[in-house]
Each structure stands twice: as structure tokens, then as C-alpha cells.
Copies of this chain bind each other. A is one copy, B any other.
């Protein structure tokens, strides 16, 4: 029997070090991976004399971009650049043409970047392509034994899909502009080009309307964007090559409209942002049968269409709970009079009217799956949240579409699961080329039931970079191991932009711990993940209190545990070796020992208010550590473990599989594998 006792702590350190991306072979930590990369030899050193020269097309927006690029490179490398006049530029930038004042879908984003020993060259048909190429250059620069440098390389790159978006819901929890802006910076870093701004929902209306001021006065908790702020934000996004598409979700998800304008609703009110109230809970929805509704929307959309210059206008259209329609006799009469068979027909009627208003304002209407109906013109765009099936169906019927199914960041999936979702896969794979061309791309979605300005970055990043790659890079870029390595590298880069996905976690653990040391707390936090899919919603049992603090462990941990991921790999290696890989076993033993002993160290802290619910988790982690160690002992002895022991361990494992405090202990499965292995130990 080999035990942990003969091993030095250096093994533990190696174990930790080996969690990091391998550094042995220098690789390009680019994400998204460019369409075409030809590695060269040598590298371009980045030192104090670094400078950029611009030729060709050129405007104030590009100048600002170059400035940001230089200051970002300076921040990453810590080098204050001092251009000396007369020295040739390090990076020569050339664009043939300028950009559109309002960024178009399919505007050319391609670029070519050549890095050689003494200089680099970035050329692009448009200044928009230059933006993309500069981000690639920033990712190329790495620390090396001889200084900061970009490796010699020739890159020819363009996006696979023209629409690569991120939806941020600012209704459920208001997200201030500084947080929105740093997320735009992050999007630009991974070449996303659409911010889909979910600006209204049941819980809050977030844009000032001068025509209908009560939308925010009564339909928000005072937190909303003024029109000036919106304009400034759109300019900020445009500078970064990002379109801003607003969404005003109707006729469902619209309770916040009815506080100020109850006449729009299909029920009688009164309405509150919190919902609830006497009687059974009913989702209030707009009344599509009154002309006054369309008069209102006509004015409102005209105002918003001016405020948001993007060619696309999202009207939501999802999850229309028809109960208010069913209960309203006038609406029932209207449906009967117009020969409508069901609520879907009524919504289609509403959408047809709406589409005319949107089109009158020179916008293309976008909506969720549910708006798909043969009566609507083929110009509209359908955003699929329910599956690739509906995206393919839309494309077959001649509608353009976007995929969001599989890209919901709030469902807490691991990056690999998002990465595996391809807009052209499954049902879409059998489409004709023409039909395929209607699939414009996709959008990741950050719904805001469970995020605050403090932890939203932690939920979006770095996983969003993986979806960005799926939408930019060629379809055959799908090596998961490479993806994780590059994602982790890019995750570090993103913090230089001011994103807080790494630091916020530390802050939140410190809040839970008060002035105490958080070492043992991190050990636990590192191996748990939030429950998946809609389990947190189910556990909430009833309407969510959107004003409750989000300061629990679940709010502070990463959606994906790097530690657990790596531990599983180690266990696989060990099992596949026929229990012979001693290095792997040593690492596994140290990790298990660490967990076994952690509860004792953490216990005093767990009496604190925000940590009490985590007591069983910590106990389970320690028990799993012990079980795993015993399993290794049996394996080392080459004897099958006694049945009584196994029964006991499986009981423990089943217990540890249950979510606790809305958290999953992510090391249960590999420990279970170790215990199972003792049956066939030889």
C-alpha cells in the first residue's frame, strides 16, 4: 500500500500548476481561432518603441480604436510606450475603405495579419476588419523568455456567421452602463458584433421614453437609461464594431408597461412590478384587440426606432401566457369575430400589425420562435430559443434565423456543452445551401434573474468567448482540449479590460468570510457548481424576489469548476493505466487528502450567516475525500473491496449527488468511479 505520506508537497504544487494551460509547446492562445493561420518562425518583440502607423481609409473612430489598442497593449505588458520620431512603425495598419455610420449586418469584417521579426502588417478591406485584426494582435502578444512578443505568423481571417451576439437582460436586475461597457469591451475582444439589449420585461422597463414617461416612472424602480445615455452607449459600441439591437418584449413579459399604462393590458390590474397580489398568479399580457394598443405602439416604436439606429428591432414575442386573453370576454368576442381558432392566431394577428409598424420605421422585425407564422413576411428574423429544429423549420419556410438554444449562459452549462452546439448541426445539417444561408448566426443569452452588477461578469465570462468562437471560427474548429486551454488564457486577458469575472469571486468569498482567511473556503468553492438548467428557478418555489441579495455561495462560484474538470481527467488517466500510473495516483491522493481534511479547517467559518447552508456540502466533500483514499488503498492492495464497505460508500455518494444549497459537488462522479473500480481490482 502506497500512501500520501511519502510524497512531498511539491507534488501538490505540481498538481495545481498542471491545472494551467500547458506552456511547454508555445501555442497561439487565440479565441476565436482565425479561419487560417500559417505559423512562421521567429517573433516580433514588443518593447518601449512599439508604434502603429495607419494608412488608407481612416476616421476618428479608427483613431480611437488605435489609441485603445495601444493602451490595452501597454496595460497587458506593463510597458509605457514611447514612440521616437523617425523609427519605423512596429505595426502598419491599412484599410481600403471606411465603415458604415450604422454598422450593417454582413459588413466586411475580414482582415489579414502578418507578423514578422521586425514588424507586423494588418490589412483589411474595411476599418471594421482592422478592429477585428487588432484584437487578434493583442491575443498574439505573450510573455517569452526574451520579452513580450508576438510570434511570426500569417493570419487570414473572416467570420463564419455575420451575426454573433450576446443578449443581456437588464430588466430583472438593472445593469449600470459601466458594467455594460466593460462587457462590450469583452465582446469586442472575442469579435462578437451584436449586443441584444433586453430592455423591458415584467420586472422593469429600462429606457426613458419621452412620449410615454410613465413607462420608467412607474414601470421601474428608478433605475433606467436616459436617451442621452443610450446614444452614448451606442456610440461606444459602434467604436468597437458592435451593433446594438433593442428588444421590447410584447405582448407577454410586459407587466412593467401596465403600471403606467394599464389600458394596454388584457386584464384589469392593478399591477405591481413584483407581481403576485390577490388571487392566482397570472402573467399580464397586452391586449391585441384594441386599436388604442396599436396607436400607442406606433408612437412608441417611432420614438425607439429613432433612438436605436440599428436596422433590426426585436419585439420579443415569447412565452405568451394566454390566461388573460382567455378570461377577457371582449377579446374572446374579437377572436370569434375574426375567425381565430386559438391564442396563436391572435398573437399572429398582433405580430402582423406590429410588423407593419416596425417596417414603417425602416426596421426589420426580430422575434423569438413563437412569432413564426406563415402570415408574416419573409423579411422577419426568428430567434430560436427552443431548439435547432425550429431554426431549420424557419429556414425551410424562407425565414432568416438566429440560434440561441444551447447558448443560454444562465443555465450554468460547462463551456464544452455550449461549444458543441452548432447552428448548422442537427436539423439544420440537412438544409439546402440556400436555406442554410438564412441562418445568420446566433446569440448567447444572459438572462438576469440571478445576476447583479457584481457577479454578471462571472456568469458571462469566460464561457461567452467559447460561443463567440463557435460563431466566428470554421465549423471544424472543435477540439475541446484546445478550447479549454485557450479559453483559460483569454480569461486572464479579459481581466485587463476591467472585467471582474475572476476578481468578483474573491470579493464575494471575502464578504462571506468577514475578516477571516478564505483559503479553506476557496477549496470548497473550487469544486462546486451551481445547479443546472432551471433547477434554481424550481427551488425558488414561487415568484422570485428580485430585490433579495445574491450573495450566497451559488452566486460567487464559477459555473464550471476547473478543479473538478482536472481531477476527473486525472482519475481517467489513472483508471486507464490499470491503476499503474503512480504519478497520477500521487496527485489524486494529495487532492483527496486535501478535501478530506478541509471540513475541519473550514468548519469554524461555516457558522457565518451566508455559509451555514454549505455545512453539509463541506462534510460531503470531506467524506468523498476519505472514500476516494480508501478506494485507492484497495486498488493498491489488488483486492476487491468488501461489499459492506462499497454499500456504505455508494450510500454516501448518492447523498453527495443531491444538490445542496443549490450547488453540485462536482467531484462526486470521479470518486464514484474510483469506488466502482474496487470491484474489479486485480
Please list the residues of chain A having a beta carbon within 8 angstroms of any beta carbon in chain B. Answer: 5-6, 8-10, 12-14, 16-21, 23, 29, 48, 75-80, 82, 142-148, 452, 454, 485, 488-489, 492, 495-496, 503, 506-508, 510-517, 519-520, 523, 547-551, 590, 593-594, 596-598, 600-601, 604-605, 607-610, 612
Contact = CB atoms under 8 A, between A and B. Distances in A.
Contact of A9 (B48, B142, B511, B593): B593
A505 to B, nearest CB: 11
Nearest to A495: B507
A671 B19 CA distance: 32
B78 A549 contact: yes
B516 A21 contact: yes
Given A507-B495, A549-B80, A142 B515 contact: yes
24 contacts: A8-B597, A9-B12, A9-B590, A9-B597, A10-B598, A10-B600, A13-B520, A13-B598, A14-B601, A17-B516, A17-B520, A19-B517, A20-B517, A21-B516, A23-B605, A75-B454, A77-B549, A78-B511, A78-B549, A80-B452, A82-B547, A144-B608, A145-B608, A145-B609
A142 B19 contact: no
Contacts of A79: 549, 551
Contacts of A520: 13, 16-17
A23 B607 CA distance: 11
Contact of A78 (B75, B508, B523): B508
Nearest to A552: B78
A144 B549 CA distance: 16
A416 to B, nearest CB: 19
B144 A609 contact: yes
A21 B515 CA distance: 7
B142 A13 contact: no
Contacts of A29: 515
Contacts of A143: 511-514, 608-610
A551 B78 contact: yes
A608 to B, nearest CB: 5
Nearest to A512: B143
A10 B13 CA distance: 16
A146 B515 contact: no
A240 to B, nearest CB: 21
A551 B512 CA distance: 32
Contact of A607 (B77, B145, B492, B596): B145
Contacts of A18: 517
A549 B18 CA distance: 30
Contacts of A14: 600-601
Contacts of A20: 515-517
B142 A514 contact: yes
Contacts of A512: 143
A598 B14 CA distance: 9
A548 B548 CA distance: 48
Contacts of A19: 517
Contacts of A8: 593, 596-597
Contacts of A598: 10, 13
Given A10-B597, A20-B516, A79-B549, 12 more contacts: A8-B593, A9-B597, A17-B520, A19-B517, A20-B515, A23-B515, A80-B547, A80-B549, A143-B513, A143-B514, A144-B609, A495-B507
A602 to B, nearest CB: 8
Nearest to A16: B519
A488 B79 CA distance: 31
A82 B511 CA distance: 20
Nearest to A521: B17
Nearest to A523: B13
B17 A601 contact: yes
Residue among A77, A511, A596 having the largest count of chain B Cβ atoms under 10 Å? A511
A510 B492 contact: yes
A88 to B, nearest CB: 20
Nearest to A488: B515
A377 to B, nearest CB: 44
A514 B23 contact: yes
A56 to B, nearest CB: 27
A508 to B, nearest CB: 7
Contacts of A608: 143-145
Contacts of A593: 8-9
Contacts of A16: 517, 519-520
Nearest 4 A/B pairs, CB to CB = A10-B597, A20-B517, A78-B551, A13-B601
